[in-house]
Structure 1
Amino acid sequence: MPRLLYINEKFGHDATILLDSGDACWISVGKKGVLVRSHTHNFWGGLLGSVFGPKLYQERNIYQALNVAQALTAMFRPVPQIRCKDMMLAAFCTAAWQCSSPERVKAVLNDPELLAA
């Protein structure tokens, strides 16, 4: 089962979720879009993973990111452990929570049919 490592809504809007595969998924939502990266879960991975980890999803158009967040909200049921005030952060965290690996997170978030639903 995935584990929520942290949610930060005071100094930016980001969260880290530990996936079933043991990899961590870092999600950042801001005024300039959404960025999702993966990294190994250890000290250096956590420290540098959000900067150098492979990108799983990036959307610089905030309106497009909002459309994806709305589609994700409709697709997945809320997870009690994810208590975000930011709707976009909650939607991307919930989607990542449902995935067992970074590859699956990438596939779900970059699904072109996501917006057609």
Structure 2
Amino acid sequence: MVVDPEAAMAANELYRQRRALTPDMREHLNSYLEPARKALESLSEPTTATAVVEAFGSVGLTDAVQTDDNGNGVRFGAASPQGGCLFGYVAFDGKVDISNGGSIMDGGCLEMPGH
């Protein structure tokens, strides 16, 4: 049996892919994007995972916020009740990177580092 290592590696990474969003879901997520960015940018430095969760709560996203404090900042994924996610990173210096998209194939909104 011949195995294509590139194809095997690509298949191994499928769990990281995000599900597609409907136009309604994207529109709904867009309504949270700027308020969430402003809430995250207002956090004290250095940012903590607890503060990130509270920032999402302040804009109405309280059900499922996942965080990962990697020592240099906080990665996050916040689920919307109508579907989809806001995800990104808050660096310890306060710089915010935030995007929206579908949940990952593995479930949830926060993509875990490779295994």
State the TM bucket, normalised to the shorter chain. Answer: 0.3 to 0.5
Answer 1 or 2: which has greater helix percent.
Answer: 1
TM-score by length of 1: 0.34
| Structure with greater strand percent | 1
Structure number with bigger Rg: 2
